Each structure stands twice: as structure tokens, then as C-alpha cells.
Amino acid sequence: MTKRYTIAVGDKTYIIGVQSLDASNRYRVLVGGRVYELKVLTEEETEMEIPAVEVIEAEKEKPALAHKPPELLPRSRKSEPPEMPRTAGQSEVAPRELHAPMPGVIIEISASPGARVSRGDVLFVLEAMKMKNPIRSPRDGVVEAIHVQPGQNVNFDDLLLTYRDEGA
Amino acid sequence: MDLLTTLFAGLNSLTWGATLMLAIGGGLIYLAIVKEYEPVLLLPIGAGAILANLPLSPLVGEDGLLGILYNAGVANELFPLLIFVGIGAMTDFGPLLERPHMLLLGAAGQFGIFGTLFLALLLGFDINEAASIGIIGAIDGPTSIYVSNLLAPHLLGPIAVVAYSYMSLVPIIQPPIMRALITKKERRIRMPYSENPVSRRTRVLFPILVTVVVGLLVPMAIPLIGMLMLGNLMKESGVVERLVGASSNEIANVVTLFLGLAIGATMQADAFLRKETLLILILGIFAFGLDTAAGLLFAKFLHWITRGPLNPLIGAAGISAFPMAARVVQKVAQEEDFENFLLMHAMGANTAGQIASVVAGGVVLALFAAR
């Protein structure tokens, strides 16, 4: 029997598959394109509090699927992981600064201080080797300051923009 | 009655072939103006084709403007070589000098030339024709013109038209091949930007060194590589701004106009309207696809043996079409991950492809021109 959870963390959604295997307390779990087999050793109630960071709403499972959906079967090494939304950036901590990915000229600035931006929004257009490259926001957040002017030459890793620190 | 015949001599001499060629010339002009496919070359070629196919055109022949241009600069290879000076003066080899290993990818991007050569042989072209057709795969217009004019001058028109048409189709032809051969996961490989500033001395010595080394190894490539590197030496020297400006603007523009007209004029009905032209069109795209695939697969192989951060997509930039191929790599990579910037790496592979295609042209000439 397989359960499929669609969960929301912040405004992103993820799909997690949990398949209970024949023996008791053994499960096969699909998270982020990877399959884990795990065994629940103990299950007890505790007073420990998990600090509240963000609300996790678990959309209740869909009616149990009659057949095991193929994506929950052990995957051969060659096949690609299913499409999963990626977390912001590559690190778990959202970066506070945005740097130039390569040298070029900033020809357009589409963001302004105080603006709320989402991951994927175009913030700058950087012309490099005569090609216009959109520089998109790697995270959701509020722009604190922009550190370049239109027409400015930038080198690799120059600071372009800082986000407002919302966690503090 | 005789008067009428004389007055309408042009109309009376119009053949079906010439009419069709006028339409083809119009088609090229359409592609240039409406689709903006390499307009700088395709527009003069289209115009040349129309001017040369109008019956009794005084422009063709030894004393006509088109004939003079052809003899002055195409038959003796002057025009494509002058264009190479301009290309050299416009090319920044910096991205390659910062990542010299990209030369490997440039070399890999030339395999298709030889694959297509064999296929063309099988289809009944003779060895010189086959070699000229294979060169289309490098997607390097001036090299294609240079090589085919030496090896198979009667195919110059179709080869030039096909080479320049496909050059403009790089953004359409390459992405499907890239998506087919490189997995999504590989396309997402990020390549960190590495900054190794290259000294001015290196930049100045590079063109000299390449000319001498390539010249010693492949003497037939000396005209092409020598002119390309002359332009680059002038640019990097920083002391002959005027010559650099003239080479990359005035000379390159004037020569492009002359070259386009003269090549258009070779598109005479009896020479162009043959099944060979159609075959060249098909073999050309095959050569292009094979070069792209070879570059991609070789990059994939490099990634596999080094296990390093090498996105196999940049293999597609190992062809000559500069800078379109590098831009296409950047675009396809960003479809998967907008935080991935491969452009400078791809530019390195792309300039390597430029050098390699010139060398490949020389190799082909060395192998076949002596025959």
C-alpha cells in the first residue's frame, strides 16, 4: 500500500511517496527523486518540541492507488530522477547577496530596493560577449539594495544586489 | 519584326532554368531580409544570383563586374582570406586562453567533416567534391569557400549557399541534438566560473605561436590560420587600432559585399540546378549534425573520465559558428537551470572550434589537393 503526500513548504510543493513493504515497519520512501528503504525501529510519544519555522500543511493523501505508481519502484541507475522542485539556491540557507556570474556590462536593472521578488524573476540583464543574459533571482525575498548602475562594467563575483534579512 | 526581336532579346532568351534561379535568388533575399538569416552575406548572394541569371546580362563574363570580382578575389582566394583578417581582429581568444583544455573540444567538433566525406563518396561524389562538402560541417563560411574553391570550384555556389544558410540556422538545428544526447542531469551540471587573468604577453604571443606551430604541421593551413592570427595579433598588440578598425569594419564589409556578389554569380542555372545541389543541402545538414554530435559525445566522455564539473553541452560549441554556437549552449543550459552560466566556457570551446576548423580545412587540403 502506497501513500502519496503533496506537501507545501513555504510556497513550494513537494511530492513524497511512502510505500509500506510486506514486513511490518519497513517502508520505501521517495524524497526528492531518491528512494530510501527504511525501517522504523521505535515509535513513541515525546515531550520534545520541534521549533516552529514554517507551516507544513500536509495535503491529505490521495485515495490509495490501486497499483504501485511506477515512480515508487526501485529505480535503475540509468533513469533520471523525476522532476522535483528544487529548494532555493543550492544551499539550504538562502543567500543574502547576489554576485555577477561572469564579467560583462549591466544593461538593464529590473529590480528596485524594497521590491518583493520571487525565485526566477529577472533582476538584471548582463551583456557578456555581445549576448544579453538575464540574471534571475535565486530566491524569494525583498531587495534591500542594488549595488550597480545601468551601463556599469562588472567583473566576475562583483556584488550586484543584497536581500533584506527577514529571518532576524 | 527584327526590331522587336532585338528589343525583346532578353525576354526571348529567358529559359526555365534561369527563371527558377531568379526565384532562388529572390528566396535568398527573402531569407536575408525577412528572416535575417546571415543577411550580410545572403543578400549579396541572392542579388548576385539574380544579376547573373538575367539573360544576356553584361555583368557576367570576363569583362562584367561579377566576372571581374570573381577573378579578382574568389578564384585566387583573396576575399575569404581578407575576411579571415577581419575575423581575427574581432575575436577575443581570452576565454580559450583561460581554459586551454577547451582546444580538445574544438578538435572533437571536426569529426563530422570526415564522416560526411565518406558518405559523400558513397553517394558518388569524387574525393575532392566529398572533402569540400564535408567542410560544411565545421559551419565556417570562409573556410568552406576557401577549401571548395581549391578542390571543387564547380560546387562553390551550392556549398557557399548551404554553409551560410546553416550558419544562420545554428540556433534551430543544434538544440534538439543537444537535448537528445545530453541527459537533463548532465545539462544541469554547473561549471564554476574560473578567473585566470591572461597576461598581455600571452595574448600577443598566442597568435604568433599558433601560426608557427600550425604552419609547420599543416602547411596548407598557413593562408587561413596566418590571416586569422594576423588580425588577432593586431588586435592584441594594442598599437595599431586603425588597422584593426579597418580590418574588422571597412575591409571586412567591402570584401563581404564583393564575395557575396561573386558567389551569387556562380549560381548559374546549368551549374546550380542539378541533383548534386540537393544532395549537398542534405549532406551539409548531416555534416553539421554529426559535428555537433561528435563534440557533445566527446565532452560527455571527458566528463565521464574526469568526473569533473564539465557540462557536456559545451561540446556543441566546438564547431566554428562563432559566437552563435556558444550562445546556444548558454540558452539550452539555462532552460534547465537559470543560475548556470556556461557562456564563457562555451566561448572558449567556440574559439577553439574556429581554430580547429581552419586547421581541419588545411588538413583536408593537404590530403586531397595534391591529387
Q: Which letter, b or e, does each residue of A63-73 get, where b requires 16 or more Cβ atoms within 10 Å of its Cβ?
A: eeeeeeeeebe
User: In the prediction, which pLDDT does A96 show?
Assistant: 87
From chain A, pick out residues whose CB is under 8 angstroms from the CB of B185: 80-81
Q: Which three cell numbers stand for residue A31?
A: 524524497
| Domains held by chain B: number | 1
Q: How far is A39 from chain B (nearest CA, A)?
A: 30
Residue A83 has pLDDT above 60, yes or no: no
Q: How far is A98 from chain B (nearest CA, A)?
A: 11
Segment B101-104 long-range contacts (CB within 8 Å, at least 24 positions apart): B102/B314, B102/B345, B102/B348, B102/B349, B102/B351, B102/B352, B103/B352, B103/B355, B103/B356, B104/B298, B104/B302, B104/B352
B176-216 pLDDT, tens per residue? 999 999 999 999 999 888 777 889 999 999 999 999 999 99
> Given CB atoms, is A32 within the 8 Å cutoff of chain B?
no
Domain that holds residue B239: 2-368
From chain B, pick out residues whose CB is under 8 angstroms from the CB of A129: 92, 95, 323, 326-327, 343-344, 347
A17-74 pLDDT, tens per residue? 787 776 667 878 877 666 777 777 777 777 776 665 544 444 444 444 444 444 444 4
Name the residue among B293, B329, B334 with its Cα closest to residue B95: B329
Q: Which domains does chain A have, with CATH numbers?
A: 2-72 (no CATH), 97-163 (2.40.50.100)
Q: What is the ipTM of this complex?
A: 0.72
User: In the prediction, which pLDDT does A64 show?
Assistant: 43
- Cβ separation A101–B193 shorter than 8 A: yes
What is the torsional sign of CA B126, B276, B281, B18? positive
User: In the prediction, which pLDDT does B37 show?
Assistant: 84
The pTM of this model reads 0.75
Q: Are A121 and A135 in contact (CB under 8 A)?
A: no
